[in-house]
A and B are shown apart, each in its own frame.
Chain A
Amino acid sequence: MAEAALPHNVAGVDTSAIYEPSLFGTYSKKIGMWLFLLSDSLTFGALLYAYSYGRISISNWPTPFHSTSIVNATIMTGFLLTSSLTMVLGVRAAARGDDKGRLLFLLATMACGVGFIILHAKEWSHLIDEGLRLPIFPAVPGQETASEFVNVSKTVPQFAATFFGLTGMHMLHVTLGVVYLGVIALRRKFIPILFALWLVAWLATPAYSPFHYGAHVLLIAALVCSLILWLKPKVYDAADVEVAGLYWHFVDLVWMFIFPLVYIMSTKIV
Chain B
Amino acid sequence: MEDASQLAIESRVAEQHRHHSVATFFWVWGTLLVLTAVEVYLGYQNMEPKRMLTILMGLSLVKATLIIGYFMHMKYEVSRMKWLTMTSLVFCLAMMMVFFPDAFRILSLGAQ
A residues with a Cβ closer than 8 A to B are 1-2, 5-6, 10-11, 13, 15, 19, 22-28, 30, 34, 38, 41-42, 45-46, 49, 52-54, 56-60, 70, 74, 77-78, 81-82, 84-85, 87-89, 91-92, 94-96, 237-239, 242, 245-246, 249-250, 252-253, 256-257, 259-261, 263-265, 267, 269
Contacts and interface: CB of A to CB of B under 8 A. Distances in A.
Interface residues of B, number: 67
Contact of A265 (B22, B53, B93): B53
A125 to B, nearest CB: 22
A71 B52 CA distance: 19
A25 B4 contact: no
Nearest to B67: A253
Contacts of A269: 44, 46
A253 B68 contact: yes
Q: When A and B form their complex, which 7 residue pairs have the shortest distance between CB atoms, in order from nearest? A: A10-B8, A95-B17, A25-B78, A11-B8, A260-B56, A57-B103, A56-B103
Contacts of A60: 112
A1 B72 contact: no
A24 to B, nearest CB: 4
Interface of B: 3-15, 17-18, 20, 22, 25-26, 29, 32-33, 36, 39-40, 42-44, 46, 49, 52-53, 56-57, 59-60, 63-64, 67-68, 70-73, 77-81, 84-85, 88-89, 92-93, 96-97, 99-100, 102-104, 106-107, 110-112
A80 to B, nearest CB: 10
Contacts of B20: 92
A10 B103 contact: no
Nearest to B9: A27
Q: What does DSSP make chain B's interface, helix, strand, loop or mixed?
A: helix
Contacts of B78: 1-2, 5, 24-26
A78 B78 CA distance: 31
Contacts of A25: 9, 77-78, 80-81
A256 B44 contact: no
B51 to A, nearest CB: 12
A23 B53 CA distance: 38
B32 to A, nearest CB: 5
A45 B96 contact: yes
Contacts of B67: 84, 249, 252-253, 256
B63 to A, nearest CB: 5
A82 B39 contact: no
A42 B11 CA distance: 31
A113 B46 CA distance: 32
A68 B46 CA distance: 17
Most buried by A among B18, B59, B72: B72
A79 to B, nearest CB: 11
Contacts of A57: 102-104, 106-107, 111
